[in-house]
Amino acid sequence: MAAQVKVHTDMRTPTWNLIGLRYDAEIEPRKWGSIFPSALKALNNKIIELPGYIIPTKVGAKFSEFMLSIVPIASCPYCSSGDIPSMVQVKMLKAIPITEKPIKLRGVFMINDSGDDRSEFFLLNAKQL
């Protein structure tokens, strides 16, 4: 008997589509890096709204920091076809309870183009709508 995939609400929005424009390219011989197209860069340091699912990075019942994804934690982001969906690291103004239901947040979108090991996208000073 094959496993059935639980259907979830599609969180794609024009903003998520812009975030998905990031791609990797060889920026010099044998050195790869992320490329952020100008339409995506235009969102940097702007207040945006993003729907999505909480992906906890620690154990707990309430979180002020977590990842936000267009797919729920119950759906393996590595198992579907195509690329792994983009995720945004969220830093809330105040902690919110964990939920499997989609949420909507508003905060300051920041692109981390430093090439370090942190997330490439942040939503700072976020509030749940």
Q: What confidence tens digit (pLDDT) does each residue in 27-52 have?
A: 889 988 888 999 999 999 999 999 99
86 — pLDDT class (breaks 50, 70, 90): confident
**What is the CATH architecture assignment of 14-128?**
Beta Barrel (2.40)
pTM score:
0.83
First-residue to last-residue Cα distance in the chain: 41
